[in-house]
Structure 1
Amino acid sequence: MSKAPRIIPLSDFRQDASGILKRMTASHDPLFITQRGRATAVMVSMKEYEHTQHELEILRLLARGEKEIEAGTGFDLKTMLVEADALLAEQP
């Protein structure tokens, strides 16, 4: 079972921004900020953000590869595996 998301009002964040950021970074969990009772922003640590961006780039490359396969263009499997290994080696 996943744990409940961490949600705080903007006013609470303003009062203890430094402490909240330290706890968020240590926990690696996203922080949902509300304003007037509605979610307005989500904060994540820089490490989590970079990890997510890296995963998105891999997904974009896979989607591009599928389009190239459908179009009959692209690279052979050996070349793609070398490129994929290089991308995975960059992962933090």
Structure 2
Amino acid sequence: MRYSSQVKPISYLKAHAAEVLSHLADRREPLVITQNGEAKAVLQDVTSYEQTQETLALLKILALGQQDIDAGRVKPISDVVGRLRAKRTSV
């Protein structure tokens, strides 16, 4: 996606806030807000934001898992399954 078509000055946002919010919800494309010709903020709809946060959380989990593998902090699956079965039968 090219953000250059989704750039508006802050004055546009002030004058057309309801329209901007509707556009964000309909198109689900972020909008870059400029101030004095410089990009200052990015607006996006809530659904897209939540999806982005979920994706980042999953990527963090994957990265942490990879760090554990790289550091040798792993156990064979048979050991883990055995421990889980032992806990289940002791309860």
Count of aligned pairs between the two proteins:
78
Identity %: 32
TM-score, normalised via structure 1 length: 0.75
| RMSD between superposed Cα atoms in Å | 2.1
What is the TM-score with the length of structure 2 in the denominator?
0.76
Q: 1:54 to 1:38 in 2, by over 3 A?
A: same
- Deviation by residue 1:5-52 (Cα, 9 ceiling, x = unmatched): 411000011001011110111000000000000000001100000000
TM-superposed deviation, 1:76: 5.5
Structure 2: 5+ residue runs without aligned partners? 81-91
Find the structure with the greater CA-based Rg: 2
Matches within 5 A, 1:5-24: 5-24=5-24
Offset of residue 74 of structure 1: 4.0
Corresponding residue for residue 38 of structure 1:
38
